[in-house]
Chains A and B, each alone.
With several copies, the nearest count.
Chain A
């Protein structure tokens, strides 16, 4: 049997395989470099970068929940300048797609970060995290409002020459509305989902377990929710969709690909098993071989309903 072709295209972005690591769960790649060969990955989505450095939320920042975890890191990051100076050069030495996840507190900030990454060598695409609080609009998240999602998308697309992936929040009544808004505003692709908002309480001390009160739920627990949203969005927009949420093995990855995602991201699973993404790539390869499938592209969107 020939070696199956795992390459996928996300619009203009070509990946050697459909497996990316999710933002915030893989640092800047380097943290995992002594454990796995990063060049085998389809790509790395780095931790969200903001215009200015951010210290993040006070601890405790994480807590485990059944088959999942809550995090309230608070988008701690080194900021655009340090990212370009201290983190990017190392990433440029890799032979895999590097996607930079960005966020801002205002449309302008999003634009400024996108502009700062525009034209920079070694960045394959920009992923726009629109699931963070919008201070301008009184604390509502951009990602829960179609108009604001469109505004952010438009601005980022205008400011950069890179493919723009808009990352959607699952905490909405109808994710298709946000998806369509972002697509119409010029997004090249969508990734979904980010975390579901959740909470846990310390019953002894009667305080929230996270200093931030609530946090984002990730891990296998949320997989059915993310998968359903991917299923819905794939049928609502024409641009490519990247599936994220609770994927821990190649079978989970296949669920998203079959539903129509053109690539997938591995988040929390990286903590459980640093080799998870490589094992998934290997699993997809073997699956294709066993089934006599030449190209992983032939699996994408093959759900029968």
Chain B
């Protein structure tokens, strides 16, 4: 883990309100594993004050980290104006990352919206064709083309809420369809990232089916280091300390360890 000023190599629009930024951060890039994230200092003054967490979406040319982000508020609005040549403080890589699938597992990646970011990174280090990848978006104009984000050749099944691209409906429906097709020879292992309602549905499906599943969660964060205890999330089991910290114990969790009712 390191904190370093990183040069912006590019910052391009890849879908509506969606950008891909490439940051020259060799030390972060060297350590990063899929599911880990970075905290970016986006404000020039002290407003906004806190860093913003973003999943690492990929590594390019050994020293570049890629971040896929959507404009949702003050910080991301500032980010989209950043230009090549400017620099940015990157803190990372942070968090635990995904546990890689075992041989013989059949990985299924399920993304909602920007939740696609860590899964693109995960997919990039897996054998092409050895997994399924489902990604849901609001509509066609939000769909992130994988070759735009440097993952050309990635075989992605899309769903959109309005049917303007791919399957009309929820991405969890694609997951359910896929699971229905399993024959019992390979064991499906699910990797999911996206908005909370989607993750809850994925949790319900996988807990119900007693399937292995890892979810990547979000929480408001101040430090990203496990120091402030701001990013608490309720554990499922009854123990002395009832909370995990998303930044340190996560952001990737086994679906079994969380208290989904409290989320």
A248 to B226, CA, bound (A): 20
Q: Verify A62–B220 contact, CB threshold 8 A.
A: yes
A271 lies within 8 A of B50 (CB): yes
Establish whether residues A270 and B227, one from each chain, have CB atoms under 8 Å apart when the complex forms.
yes
A53-B240, A273-B3 known; A62+B46 contact, CB < 8 A: no
Residues 85 to 120 of chain B near chain A (Cβ within 8 Å):
89, 91
Q: Is the CB of A31 within 8 A of B232?
A: no
Question: A67 within 8 Å of B by Cβ?
Answer: yes
CB distance from B261 to the nearest CB of A (A): 12
Chain B: CB-nearest residue to A275: B3
Question: How far is A76 from B46 in the complex, measured between Cα atoms in Å?
Answer: 27
Is the beta-carbon distance between A274 and B49 smaller than 8 angstroms?
Answer: no
Contact between A56 and B49, CB atoms less than 8 A apart: no
Q: Does B223 contact A (CB under 8 A)?
A: yes
* A53 and chain B: residue at smallest CB distance: B240
Most buried by A among B50, B229, B231, B243: B229
Task: Check A271 against B243 for contact (C-beta < 8 Å).
Answer: no
Are B3's CB and A272's CB within 8 A? Answer: no
- Interface residues in B2-38 by Cβ distance below 8 A to A read 2-3
Residue of chain A at shortest CB distance from B263: A59
Does A268 contact B49, Cβ atoms closer than 8 Å?
yes
Residue of B nearest to A72 (CB): B230
Stretch at the interface among A20-28, A169-177, A191-199, A287-295: A20-28
A76 near B1: Cβ-Cβ < 8 Å? no
> Using an 8 Å CB-CB cutoff, how does the interface string of A57-90 with B read, 1 for contact, 0 for none?
1111111101111010100101000000000000
Determine if B233 is an interface residue (Cβ-Cβ < 8 Å). Answer: yes
B-side contacts of A32, CB under 8 Å = 225, 227
**Cross-chain pair count, CB within 8 angstroms:** 112
Report whether A64 and B50 are in contact in the complex, using a CB–CB cutoff of 8 Å.
yes
The docked-state distance in angstroms from the alpha carbon of A193 to that of B23 is: 38
The residue that A55 contacts in the complex, of B1, B2, B48, B243, with Cβ under 8 A, is: B243
Cβ contact within 8 Å between A59 and B240 = no
Contact with B along A262-296 (1 / 0, CB 8 A): 00000010111111000000000000000000000
Q: Are A220 and B91 closer than 8 Å at their CB atoms?
A: no
B interface residues, how many (CB within 8 angstroms): 33
A59: chain B residues within 8 A (beta carbon): 219-220, 231-234, 243
CB distance B229 to A69 under 8 Å?
no
A35 is an interface residue with CB less than 8 A from chain B: yes
Query: Complex: how many Å from CA A243 to CA B224?
Result: 26
Central interface residue in B41, B220, B262, by most chain A CB within 10 Å: B220
Would you list 7 pairs from A and B whose C-beta atoms are within 8 A, ordered by A residue? A31-B227, A35-B2, A58-B234, A59-B232, A62-B230, A270-B227, A272-B41
How far is B240's CA from A53's CA once the two chains are assembled, in angstroms? 7
A271 touches B222 (CB 8 A): yes
B156 is an interface residue with CB less than 8 A from chain A: no
In addition to A71-B222, A268-B222, 5 A-B residue pairs with Cβ atoms within 8 Å of each other are A35-B225, A53-B240, A60-B220, A270-B223, A272-B50
Please indicate the chain B residues that have their CB under 8 angstroms from the CB of A31 in the complex. Answer: 223, 225-227
In the complex, what's the smallest C-beta–C-beta distance from A256 to chain B, in angstroms? 17
Residues of B within 8 A of A67 (CB): 46-47, 49
Q: Is the pair A71, B228 in contact by a Cβ cutoff of 8 Å? A: yes
Whether the Cβ atoms of A56 and B229 lie closer than 8 Å is yes
How distant is the Cα of A63 from the Cα of B241 in the complex, in angstroms? 22
The reply to whether the CB of B51 lies closer than 8 angstroms to some CB of chain A is yes
Q: B242 at the A/B interface (Cβ < 8 Å)?
A: yes
Q: Which B residues are CB-close (under 8 A) to A61?
A: 220, 229-232
List of B residues within 8 angstroms of A275 by Cβ = 3
Are B232 and A56 touching (Cβ within 8 A)?
yes
A122 to B225, CA, bound (A): 24
B49–A27 CB distance below 8 A:
no
Q: How far is the CB of B225 from chain A (nearest CB, A)?
A: 5
Known: A273-B89, A274-B3. A25 touches B227 (CB 8 A): yes
Q: Is the CB of A76 within 8 A of B222?
A: no
**Shortest Cβ distance from residue B61 to the other chain A in the assembled complex, whole angstroms:** 25
Q: A69-B49, A69-B50, A273-B41 are in contact. Are A34 and B227 (CB under 8 A)?
A: no
